[in-house]
Amino acid sequence: MEIALSAADITTVPADAIVNAAHHALRGGGGVDGAIHRAGGREFLAELIERYPNGTPTGTAVWTTAGALPASYVIHVVGPNFTAGQRDPALLESCYRNALRIADELDVRTMTLPAVSAGIYGWPAQSAADIAVQTLRRTPTTVAKATFCLVEPRLYKAFGNATAAGE
Contacts of 93 (CB under 8 A, 6+ apart): 131, 135
Give the whole-angstrom CA distance, residue 12 versus residue 16. 13
Catalytic residue of the set 33, 104, 107, 130: 33
107 noted as active-site residue = no
User: With contact defined as beta carbons under 8 Å apart, do 23 and 12 qualify?
Assistant: no
CA distance 131 to 89: 7
Asked if 11 and 41 count as a contact pair (C-beta separation under 8 A), the reply is: no
Q: What is the CA radius of gyration of the chain?
A: 14
Question: Is the distance from CB of 107 to CB of 145 less than 8 angstroms?
Answer: no
Q: Are 92 and 128 in contact (CB under 8 A)?
A: yes
Q: Which residues are catalytic?
A: 33
